[in-house]
Amino acid sequence: MKTDVILVDGERWRWFGHRGETAVVDPYPRLHRPARVLVNFSGAFTGVLRFEGKTQFARALIDREVRREGWVDGPNHIVIHHLSRARDGGQAFYTAVPLEAWQRLLQWIRGENDHCLVYPAGALLADVREGEGRILHLDRRLLVFARGRDDLSFEDVYSATGEAEDQQLAARTLGANIAAFAAQSGHAGPLRPEWLTALAAPDDELETSLIERVQDAAGVPVRRTRSQRFRDGDGEVLSALPRAVNRLGAAASSNPVREKTAWWSESMAPAVLTAVGALAVGLGAAGQYTHGLAAQERESARTLKAAVQDRSARIREADFPDRSGTVAELSAFVGRLDRGAPYTPVQVLASIREAAGPGLTVYRVRLESSPRDGYRLRVDGTAGNEDGGAIRRFLATLRRDGWHPVPLKPASDAPGSFSYRLAPGSQDT
């Protein structure tokens, strides 16, 4: 379904109408029809993380990395655009969005009468296959995501000014980075980048020069997605975003499952009703001989229309359970942490690092499954004989942070070895 598209770049909002109009709009506008919203969040961080362990724990691992490096100020919401398995672990292309900005956007969407699909800019970049890349020219930024056989790559190159010379320098830098990734990506053939223009002047000279600089530095041709012409108050502008965003499926959006399903139901209903209506008209035109059959088909059309409307209403009201297997276990675990205590695995790791002072070494912190309460944290380490108070200080720090250490059989027979299971202080152990 071809819809309006809204580009959100920080605090700047631009609307692209499905009939070829465009305008700068105030943030969080009142919508008059369904729309797709492409968002480049202010203060967000987009990157690629290669990790060890199971891919179902990717979100928690990304959250830990983002917090440790301080890439996002305050609490965040993790959106994973692409997740693939790798040797002994996986790779994830993700965006960490400030939680306040994320919640405000969702609150606006849920307050609108028409459904909207939300796509962080990374979702548009990630819509490529192995051996392909996608470049997005957004104001003074050049963003690219590429997939090789063994690796993922994301680059975000920012031009110092809006002058053509500075932007061309940024384009050459981006091209050199693409060439370096292509050389070590393991893909058999050359990388095939695609260029998307967010907004350009009708003469298009700057855009053409930037593509040429990227091609020269990367050593591969760059295929440009055809831009559409849009009318605004000052004349015309070019953009490839509406066509590209409208090609994205609802599954690539960051909306909850119920909202995605409702969007799909609404988008399918017009096509179903049109097909049924055409069938009824055709049968009616067959004449008196088929009059009775046509009446039956028209009745079927009305019945099907009512069924579609009823299904759409039930979908909006339904509370869909999450039946995604192992992912559901992780979701339940995170839910228990949120409801049972103000602690996360990231915070307890920080407590462990603080508690492990001189004379004590923690060599393993492991999340173990438990048939009774889902998961528990196990800590293994050693304490030197020269400082008998190291373990006491270690346990006191954990208790202060709300965790109840339960002694276990040490994982090692070495002198001074210890093992503890950490349970929330409010949990019955």
pLDDT tens digits for 212-238?
A: 999 999 999 999 999 999 998 888 999
Contact 395, 421 (CB under 8 A): no
3-class DSSP state for residue 163? coil
What six digits make up the tokens of 229? Answer: 């012409």
Q: By C-alpha distance, which of 423, 425, 362, 427 is closest to 393?
A: 362
Q: At what angle do helices 205-218 and 164-184 cross, to 10 degrees?
A: 30
3-class DSSP state for residue 44? coil
Give the Å distances, CA to CA, from 243 to 198, 221, 232, 253, 318: 11, 22, 18, 16, 32
Can you tell me the distance from the alpha carbon of 25 to that of 10, in angstroms, rounded to the nearest whole number? 13
What six digits make up the tokens of 241? Answer: 């975003």
At residue 123, φ and ψ (nearest 5 deg) are: -65, -35
Residue corresponding to tokens 């609802």: 250
User: Up-side HSE of residue 356: CA atoms within 13 Å toward CB?
Assistant: 18
Q: At what angle do helices 257-284 and 291-317 cross, to 10 degrees?
A: 170
Q: Whole-number mean pLDDT of the chain?
A: 80
Q: Is the pLDDT of residue 315 over 70?
A: no
What six digits make up the tokens of 365? Answer: 């912190």
User: Up-side HSE of residue 47: CA atoms within 13 Å toward CB?
Assistant: 15
Q: Which residue has the higher pLDDT, 88 or 94?
A: 94
User: Looking at 100-104, 152-156, 278-282, which range is the least confident one?
Assistant: 278-282
User: For the residues 7-20, what does the mean pLDDT come to?
Assistant: 94
Sheet order of strands, 417-424 included: 360-370, 374-383, 417-424, 403-408
Q: Which residue has the higher pLDDT, 423 or 297?
A: 423
Q: Apex CA 26: angle with CA 25 and CA 31, to 5°?
A: 70
Q: Which CATH architecture has domain 326-424?
A: 2-Layer Sandwich (3.30)
Give the Å distances, CA to CA, from 402 to 27, 341, 351, 423: 42, 8, 10, 9
What six digits make up the tokens of 257? Answer: 């499952």
Q: Is the pLDDT of residue 287 over 50?
A: no
- Global pTM value: 0.62
Can you tell me the distance from the alpha carbon of 302 to that of 280, in angstroms, rounded to the nearest whole number? 10
Q: Which residue has the higher pLDDT, 347 or 24?
A: 24
- In the chain, where are the structural domains located? 4-252, 257-307, 326-424
Can you tell me the distance from the alpha carbon of 53 to that of 86, in angstroms, rounded to the nearest whole number? 10
